[in-house]
Amino acid sequence: MAHYLNVYDESAVKSFCTSRANETKVWQSMSLLDTDVNIQQALSDAAQFGMRYVLLGICEDIGPKANLGAGGAEQAWPAFLQRFLNQPYNQFIATQKVLLLGEVHTADLMAQSALLDNQNPAHLTQLRELCEQLDQRVEAILSFIFKAGLEPIVIGGGHNNCLGIIKALAKYKNTAINAINFDPHADFRECEGRHSGNGFSYAYSAQCLKSYHVIGLHELKNNQAIIDALAAANFTFNSYQSIAVKREINLTQAVSNALKSFDAAPLGVEVDLDSIAFMPVSAYTCSGFSVSDAEHFVHLAASNRHSHYLHLCEAAPIQHPSGIEAGKVHCGQVISALVNSYLQAKECA
C-alpha cells in the first residue's frame, strides 16, 4: 500500500516556499523523507535521526459529500502548507523534529467522485464505496507512521478519515484507543455506508474505540438516534450549550475532566474545524467557538502523555463567504495555529 503515499521531495514543496534575508523559515528547518529506501525503513531511520512528528495531508472531499454535505475539504492541505512553511523558525517551535512526509494518494478516487451527485441515491452509494477505499489507504499509510514510532499530524479532508487513523493506531498498539473530539457533531451516525458522519461509529463497531468524549457537541445539530447511540456505548460529551451558552462549565474544566476520565490507552486528538465560528468548512456556522478556544483544546489534549496524534479536518477554503482565496488565507492561518499549539504542548509536556 506504500504506492498510495505521495512522498514529497524538494520540487513538490518549492512552490509553497518563500525566503527572506537573515531569517530562517520553518520549511528550512524541517526534513523530507529519504526515498532511496522503502517507506517503512525510511520512516524508522527518520525517527532514529531525531524526527518525532510527521505532517501528512489528505486532499479529498469524498467523505463530506458522501454525508450529503458540501465539498472543498481537499483544498485545506495546500492552504496550510502555504502558511505554515513560511512561518519564522525560532526557539518557540520545534519544527526541526518535524518530517514533511507528503499526502495520501487520492487523485483517482477524487476523479471518480467528481462525476457523482450525492442527491442521486445510486451515486451516493458509489461515493460511500469510494470513501471505504480511502479508509484502506489512510489506515495503511498511518500504519507505517505508527510502526516507526512517529506521531502523525493529519490535515485535510473530511472527518471520515478518523477511522483509518484510529484503526491503524489500535492495531499497532494491539488495543482499542480513546479519543477526544472538539466538534459540534458526534459523527456517530449509523453504519449505513462510509462517510464523514460515522467514522467513530465504525471505529467502535470494529472494537478499535474504547472511550470517546466530544467537547462542544451542539445539542441541536445531532439527532436523537445519535444521542441514544452515544449513551448505549457509554460515550460522553460536554455540549456547546453547557460550555458557551449556559456557562455551566468552562472549556478548561470540560477538557480536563474528560482527559482524567480516560485510562492509559493511547489517545487520539481530533478537531473538526466546523467547531469554530465563521470558519470556512464543510458545515459553515456562525455559532461556535473561537480559534483561541480550539488552540486551548489542542494544547490541553496534546499535553496528555497518552496522546498519539492530531487530526485536523473539514476545513474547506471554497466555503469562505468572500471566495476561495480568502478561504485559503483563513484556513491556512487557523490550521497552522492548531499545529503550532500541538507542537508547543508536546515539547513542554
What does the pLDDT look like over 184-232, one tens digit per residue? Answer: 999 999 999 999 999 999 999 999 999 999 999 999 999 999 999 999 9
All 3 cell numbers of residue 109? 478516487
Q: What is the pLDDT of residue 306?
A: 98
Q: What is the mean pLDDT of residues 126-137?
A: 98
Band (349; pLDDT cuts 50, 70, 90): low
Q: How many Cβ atoms are within 10 Å of 186's Cβ, its own excluded? A: 24
Handedness of CA 109, 54, 324, 67 (dihedral sign): positive
Round to whole Å and give the CA distance between 189 and 141.
Answer: 25
Dump pLDDT digits (tens) for 228-261: 999 999 999 999 999 999 999 999 999 999 999 9
- Supply φ then ψ for residue 179, to 5 degrees: -140, 140
Does position 182 have pLDDT exceeding 80, yes or no? yes
Could you identify the residue written with the cell 469510494? 130
Structural Rg of the chain based on CA atoms: 19
Contact 170, 327 (CB under 8 A): no
Band (37; pLDDT cuts 50, 70, 90): confident
Band (181; pLDDT cuts 50, 70, 90): very high
Q: What is the value of pTM for the model shown?
A: 0.98
Q: What is the pLDDT of residue 51?
A: 97
Query: What SS3 class is residue 297?
Result: helix
Burial class (CB in 10 A: 0-12, 13-18, 19+), 98: buried
Band (309; pLDDT cuts 50, 70, 90): very high
Dump pLDDT digits (tens) for 71-115: 999 999 999 999 999 999 999 999 999 999 999 999 999 999 999
Question: Percentage of the chain with pLDDT > 90?
Answer: 96
Does position 153 have pLDDT exceeding 90, yes or no? yes
Q: What is the pLDDT of residue 34?
A: 85
Question: Percentage of the chain with pLDDT > 70?
Answer: 100
Q: What is the mean pLDDT of residues 265-283?
A: 96
Q: What is the pLDDT of residue 348?
A: 85
Q: What is the pLDDT of residue 246?
A: 98
Q: Is 207 left (phi over 0), alpha (psi -120 to 50) or beta?
A: left
Band (29; pLDDT cuts 50, 70, 90): very high
